[in-house]
Amino acid sequence: MQKNFLIWLLVSLFYAYQYILRVIPNIIGSELIDRFQIDTFGIGQFSGLYYVGYTLAHIPVGIILDRFSPKFVLSVCVILTFLGTTPLLFESWAYCNFGRIIVGIGSSASAIGLFKVISMYYSQEKFAKMVSFSIIIGLLGATYGGLPLHLLLNKLGWDYVFITFIALGCFLACAMLFLIPKSNVITSNNEQTNVGFREIKNLICNKYILLVSFFGGLMVGPLEGFADGWATTFFIKVYNISAGLASFLPSLIFIGMCFGLSLLAYILEKKPTKHYEIVISCAVLMAISFMLLLSGYCNTYVVGILLLLIGGASAYQVVATCKAISYASSSMVAIATAISNMVVMFFGYFFHTLMSEIIGFYSNGSESAALIKSISIIPISLIIAAIGFLWLRCKEKNNISS
């Protein structure tokens, strides 16, 4: 049991490590501009290139993880993440952009590897709880890692901080290489890893995995589009909140998500067949909360409570992913996770793009009205998702009864 915990902790630390590297342009943006003589477009491009590598590597990494031992795959991917960071020590911005893609490729194994390793070393009853704890570690690292990083940069300097990051990655890769067993653990169903083209094709075409991921993607707007996009501007323009408070409020969503991850994992552990009911409840709760926010009549305290509720309900992602991979055999968990994540990531792009287009379309009128119209697509999508999951629940019950 202690060895299982240690393996889980190593993979969770990798998830937190890559999460900090993912959001690092938001933390050191001004330093990047000064050091490499770039503009804000360069920062945006640098941030986006991470997702290029991350997305393109998803399914290949999933296939490799299901074919080979996580011991070697995860160690190599950790090495890629810190190697991709090394160009920041030099002067070439082109190499930094290339390195950013490499960081994305390496990071793609973090979430997939997390689901794979937990499915190998923990029972199905503990699966959601252990995944939730891992994501909490990642969120806390990304949310509260900014201030220490700034302090270290100011006190110790750029080179020292990034050499430390690289050294930590090297230590993590070595720890995985020495502590994770070489061969795959036999699953609870005694299935050996035997993944061929036909199995992969059947999994990619599995309508239940695709539908669960599709409806789950419709629910990602509160995090990808609002919290990481237009939330601060929305509170400034619609609620006339000060810029400092408005920039703090979105963090309540991530704080709420940390609590929600623990709560939903506990509920799922006690009610292991209630995936759809949990996700539907989360969709309805978020839809109602956004309708109240969009009214523009909530005071600051109510806004804070609503954001915490939205964050808590955003933890549905773990439950939805658990449901999606339940339609795959235990020897193909990594590929199923990769497929589900790719579908959900598409909706992150969808919400960012559509919301920006709507704001641009109504830019000649009131800015607050344009923001309200733009953000209104989130509760609409949540209602569609709730109906979709309700339909899947009814369909599953009919299949069981027949």
For residue 56, what is the domain's CATH number? 1.20.1250.20
Cα 309 to chain center, whole Å? Answer: 18
**Residue 366 placed within a domain:** yes
Query: pLDDT value at position 188?
Result: 44
Q: Are residues 349 and 216 in the same domain?
A: yes
| Amino acid at site 378 | I
Residue 166 confidence class, pLDDT cut points 50, 70, 90: very high
From CA 337, how far away is CA 126, in angstroms rounded? Answer: 17
pLDDT digits 0-9 by tens, 325-352: 888 877 788 888 888 888 887 887 788 7
Q: Is 92 helix (H, G, I), strand (E, B) or coil?
A: coil
In this structure, the dihedral spanned by the alpha carbons of residues 209, 212, 214 and 217, taken in order and rounded to 10 degrees, is -120
Picking from 185, 214, 236, the residue at the C-terminal end of a domain is 185
From CA 190, how far away is CA 321, in angstroms rounded? Answer: 23
Q: Are 252 and 307 in contact (CB under 8 A)?
A: yes
Q: Are residues 230 and 97 in the same domain?
A: no
Supply φ then ψ for residue 168, to 5 degrees: -65, -40
Q: Are 191 and 329 in contact (CB under 8 A)?
A: yes
Q: Are residues 266 and 174 in the same domain?
A: no
In this structure, what token pair is assigned to residue 327? 């339609």
pLDDT digits 0-9 by tens, 232-278: 889 999 999 988 788 788 889 988 998 999 899 889 888 888 999 99
Residue 190 confidence class, pLDDT cut points 50, 70, 90: very low
Q: How far is CA 122 from CA 178, 185, 336, in A?
A: 20, 11, 18
Whether the per-residue pLDDT at 306 is higher than 60: the answer is yes
Instruction: Tell me which residue of 15, 255, 251 sits closest to 130, measured CA to CA.
Output: 15
The domain in which residue 175 lies consists of 2-185
pLDDT digits 0-9 by tens, 55-92: 888 889 988 888 888 999 999 999 999 999 999 999 89
Q: Are residues 233 and 157 in the same domain?
A: no
| Domains held by the chain: number | 2
**Residue 315 placed within a domain:** yes
Q: Are 308 and 286 in contact (CB under 8 A)?
A: no
In this structure, what token pair is assigned to residue 146? 């900014």
Query: pLDDT value at position 171?
Result: 96
From CA 248, how far away is CA 231, in angstroms rounded? Answer: 10
Please state at what angle helix 29-36 crosses helix 2-27, rounded to 10 degrees: 60
Q: Are residues 233 and 374 in the same domain?
A: yes
Q: Are residues 167 and 232 in the same domain?
A: no
- For the residues 150-174, what does the mean pLDDT come to? 88
**Residue 190 placed within a domain:** no
Torsion sign (Cα): 225, 229, 231, 236 = negative
